[in-house]
């Protein structure tokens, strides 16, 4: 039995689909299941059961002998939320209980960290454990992920295998419910479909041209491929970056969406809102050598191909994975 917390969410539901495709049918979904728009992400998936997140620890105490692996992806991911108590409860305290139960019951664990821990990237984007204490996130969400990463590294007792994955800018199917927190690809698709144009934030730095802010955009199918591979390999525990290792511009992204949609390019630049301007990342790029040294050799999907698949196979028809 494999547990996926946050299973009704974006990455969680894609992971369930990937597990099913690999022949794993004994999957238990953990979430709050209170939003019908998120629950659609699980339609058609093969599941052994669903467990409300508030009841999970009681359920695990009664069923742990049947569990082989836990993916802990459940979290509050709103980067515009500034109530630190929300993140403490869901991203720190809950994650600590998952970790401690994995030790108690002898279970391996993969949990979701985030590239938001890197802040402006002053220290680079290297997942070397020695550098992690120096990172300075820009918002409470990133801080919560950094706090848990640091806590995990400091623990004397750890699950016999564990991995924290720093997801970079993930895009792909099943993010319809995410609203303003959805990927730029989904926002671009909505704008282009409705207005025929795409608005991008202009640069407020003299060394970066408008639209040439860069991010490491990774297709969700690459993320789930890597997670399933890590579950199967279980080599060396630790914190790993999960990005493509290649930063691309927002102009590249916008042009790829126009091309996939079969629409002429119309791009307009607008000011970055002042409330997020000082927290805006102009560049992210994962160092992925550590993951590759573990033996992960599968090529990552190019931005152009990932967007082509996402738009043509999912967004045009409103289809779910």
Quick check: is 147 in a domain? yes
Catalytic residue among 118, 141, 171, 219: 141
Q: How does DSSP classify residue 314?
A: I
Task: Give percent of the chain above pLDDT 90.
Answer: 90
Quick check: is 207 in a domain? no
In this structure, are residues 313 and 172 in contact, taking their beta carbons and an 8 Å threshold?
Answer: no
> What span, in angstroms and rounded, lies between the C-alpha atoms of 38 and 316?
19
What is the CA 201 to chain-centroid distance, rounded? 22
**Average pLDDT of the residues of the chain:** 95
Q: In terms of residues, how long is the chain?
A: 321
What is the CA 199 to chain-centroid distance, rounded? 24
In which band, very low, low, confident or very high, does the pLDDT at 205 lie, cut at 50, 70 and 90?
Answer: very high
Q: How many CB atoms lie within 10 A of CB 275?
A: 8
- Least confidently predicted of 13-22, 241-250, 279-288: 279-288
Catalytic residue among 50, 136, 158, 178: 178
Q: Which domain holds residue 38?
A: 2-171+217-246+282-300
Q: Which two tokens stand for residue 278?
A: 């000082």
pLDDT for residue 77: 67
pLDDT by residue (tens digit) across 91-133?
999 999 999 999 999 999 999 999 999 999 999 999 999 999 9
In this structure, are residues 157 and 103 in contact, taking their beta carbons and an 8 Å threshold?
Answer: yes
**Secondary structure class of 160 (helix, strand, coil):** coil
Quick check: is 117 in a domain? yes
Quick check: is 202 in a domain? no
* 77: nearest Cα among 22, 19, 140: 140
- Least confidently predicted of 7-16, 55-64, 136-145: 136-145
Q: What integer is the mean pLDDT of 290-308? A: 97
Inform me whether the pLDDT recorded for 15 exceeds 70: yes
Quick check: is 197 in a domain? no
pLDDT for residue 51: 98
pLDDT for residue 87: 82
Quick check: is 295 in a domain? yes
Which residues contact residue 230 at a Cβ distance below 8 angstroms, ignoring those fewer than 6 apart?
110, 163, 165, 240, 294, 296
Quick check: is 11 in a domain? yes
b/e map 13-32, b = 16+ CB within 10 Å: bbbbbbbeeeebeebbbbbe
**Residue 160 a catalytic site member:** no
* 19: nearest Cα among 202, 229, 280, 162: 229
In which band, very low, low, confident or very high, does the pLDDT at 166 lie, cut at 50, 70 and 90?
Answer: very high
With tokens 């738009």, the residue in question is 311
CA distances from 135 to 87, 123, 215, 239 (A): 18, 7, 18, 14
> What span, in angstroms and rounded, lies between the C-alpha atoms of 123 and 280?
16
- Based on the structure, what is the number of domains in the chain? 1
**Residue 158 a catalytic site member:** no
In this structure, are residues 94 and 144 in contact, taking their beta carbons and an 8 Å threshold?
Answer: no
Quick check: is 321 in a domain? no
User: What is the CATH number for 131?
Assistant: 3.40.50.720
Q: 3-class secondary structure for 22-79?
A: CCCCCEEEEECCCCHHHHHHHCCCCCCEEEEHHHHHHHHHHHHHHCCEEEECCCCCCC
pLDDT for residue 137: 94
In which band, very low, low, confident or very high, does the pLDDT at 76 lie, cut at 50, 70 and 90?
Answer: confident
CA distances from 52 to 7, 58, 184 (A): 11, 10, 30
> What span, in angstroms and rounded, lies between the C-alpha atoms of 81 and 146?
16
Q: Which two tokens stand for residue 269?
A: 């630049």
> What span, in angstroms and rounded, lies between the C-alpha atoms of 229 and 292?
12
């Amino acid at each position: 039995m494999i547990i996926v917390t946050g299973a009704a969410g974006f990455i969680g539901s894609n992971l369930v689909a990937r597990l099913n495709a690999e022949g794993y049918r004994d999957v238990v979904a953990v979430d709050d299941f209170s939003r019908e728009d998120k629950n659609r992400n699980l339609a058609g998936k093969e599941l052994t059961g669903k467990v409300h997140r508030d009841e999970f620890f009681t359920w695990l105490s009664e069923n742990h002998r049947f569990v082989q692996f836990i993916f802990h992806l459940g979290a509050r991911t709103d980067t515009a939320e500034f109530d630190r108590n929300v993140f403490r409860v869901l991203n720190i305290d809950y994650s600590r209980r998952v970790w401690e139960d994995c030790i108690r019951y002898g279970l391996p664990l993969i949990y979701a960290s985030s590239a938001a821990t890197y802040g402006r990237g002053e220290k680079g984007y290297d997942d070397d454990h020695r550098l992690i204490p120096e990172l300075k996130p820009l918002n409470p969400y990133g801080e919560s992920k950094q706090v848990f990463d640091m806590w995990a590294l400091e623990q004397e007792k750890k699950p016999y295998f564990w991995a924290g994955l720093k997801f970079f800018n993930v895009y792909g199917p099943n993010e319809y419910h995410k609203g303003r927190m959805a990927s730029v690809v989904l926002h671009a698709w909505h704008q282009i479909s409705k207005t025929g144009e795409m608005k991008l934030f202009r640069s407020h730095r003299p060394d970066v041209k408008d639209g040439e802010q860069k991010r490491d955009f990774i297709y969700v199918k690459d993320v789930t491929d890597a997670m399933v591979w890590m579950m199967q390999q279980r080599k060396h525990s630790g914190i790993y970056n999960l990005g493509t290792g290649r930063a691309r511009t927002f102009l590249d992204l916008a042009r790829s969406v126009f091309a996939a949609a079969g629409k002429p390019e119309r791009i307009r630049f607008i000011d970055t809102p002042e409330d997020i301007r000082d927290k805006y990342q102009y560049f992210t790029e994962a160092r992925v050598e550590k993951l590759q040294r573990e033996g992960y050799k599968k090529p990552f999907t190019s931005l152009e191909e990932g967007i082509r698949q996402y738009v043509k196979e999912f967004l045009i028809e409103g289809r779910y994975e």
